């Protein structure tokens, strides 16, 4: 299955906007939407952690702010609740799964080098 850039954009928009709103409502994640939106929460954290696996709360809040919801560090930490876990689980379940690309063909030189050493007996 070929994934085009246009298809990827459509899928990510669906996931980070509509699916995030639905998942947040189902998880009862956001009590005050004027401070934090499901979209910013999802985008900020999803895009921060791959770049910074050991992200500080300062880094996390800056990514969430860049996604559209400026929060204080304690304000963001207060959002890490079981509802946030339910929210991200729902997002993950709604994310499309694409088959992995096939592995690249083996290098022709690999077969030649292994063939010449395969008959050597261990000493």
Residue 102 pLDDT exceeds 80:
no
Closest CA to 75 of 35, 17, 37: 35
| pLDDT value at residue 10 | 83
Instruction: Retrieve residue 33's tokens.
Output: 């939407």
Over the stretch 23-73, which tens digit does the pLDDT of each residue have? Answer: 999 999 988 777 889 999 999 999 999 999 999 999 999 999 999 999 999
| pLDDT value at residue 107 | 63
| pLDDT value at residue 99 | 56
Q: pLDDT: is 48 or 119 the higher one?
A: 48
| DSSP three-state, residue 23 | helix
Instruction: Say whether pTM exceeds 0.75.
Output: no
Distance (Å) of CA 100 to CA 1, 47, 106, 115: 9, 21, 17, 30
Q: Within 10 Å of residue 6's Cβ, how many Cβ atoms?
A: 8
Distance in angstroms (rounded) separating the CA atoms of residues 16 and 20? 5
Distance (Å) of CA 20 to CA 14, 25, 76: 8, 9, 17
Mean pLDDT, rounded, of the chain: 82
Residue extents of the structural domains in the chain: 5-100
| pLDDT value at residue 2 | 67
Q: pLDDT: is 17 or 119 the higher one?
A: 17
| pLDDT value at residue 4 | 78
């Amino acid at each position: 299955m070929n994934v085009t850039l246009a298809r990827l954009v459509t899928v990510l928009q669906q996931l980070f906007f509509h699916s995030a709103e639905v998942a947040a409502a189902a998880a009862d994640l956001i009590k005050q939407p004027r401070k934090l939106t499901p979209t910013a929460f999802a985008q900020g954290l999803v895009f921060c952690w791959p770049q910074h696996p050991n992200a500080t709360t300062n880094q996390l809040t800056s990514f969430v702010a860049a996604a559209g919801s400026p929060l204080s560090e304690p304000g963001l930490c207060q959002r890490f609740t079981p509802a946030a876990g339910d929210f991200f689980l729902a997002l993950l379940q709604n994310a499309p799964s694409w088959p992995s690309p096939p592995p690249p063909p083996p290098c022709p030189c690999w077969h030649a080098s292994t063939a010449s050493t395969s008959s050597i007996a261990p000493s």
